[in-house]
Amino acid sequence: MRDLSITTYLRAREMAEAKGIIIVDTKFTFGLADGRLILIDELLTPDSSRFWPVESYQPGQVPESFGKQYLCDYLLSLNWDTRPPVPTLPPEVVQKTQAHYLEALQRLTAPPARCFGR
C-alpha cells in the first residue's frame, strides 16, 4: 500500500502541477477483496484532497483552495456544534463551492497547451 500510494501520488502531483494545481494533501482508501488489494472510494478529487492554485501559492501562506475547504471554513465560522441538523447554506456559499469544484475540474481536464511551429 505504501509504495502504491507514493507512486500514485507522485504521478498525480506531476500531472496536476502541469495544470497549475498543487496537491497539498490527499487520501487513499484501500481494502481487500478475495485476498487482493483494491482501491476503494474516490481519490484525487476536491473531496478527498486539497488543491491550491500554483499562481497564488506563497510559502507560509494558505491560498484559497479548490474544493470543499471553502465550505468547511464557512461551516467552522458558524456557532454550530457540528451535530444535525446541518445549517442551511446561503446560495452564495453553494455557488462559490460549486465554482471551486468546477475550476479544479476545468484545470485538470483541459487539453495541454500547444506550441505552434513545433
pLDDT of residue 20: 92
Q: Which grid coordinates belong to 84? A: 444535525
Predicted confidence at residue 113, as pLDDT, reads 65
pLDDT for 14: 95
Which of 46, 53, 52, 54 is closest to 71 using CA atoms? 46
Q: What is the pLDDT of residue 77?
A: 92
Structure confidence at residue 87 (pLDDT): 92
* Residue pLDDT tens, the chain, 118 long: 899 999 999 999 999 999 999 999 999 999 999 999 998 888 898 888 999 999 989 999 888 888 888 898 899 899 888 899 989 999 999 999 999 999 999 999 988 766 655 5
Q: Which pLDDT score, from 0 to 100, does residue 114 have?
A: 65
Task: Output phi, psi for 68, to 5 deg.
Answer: -80, -10
SS3 75: helix
pTM here is: 0.78
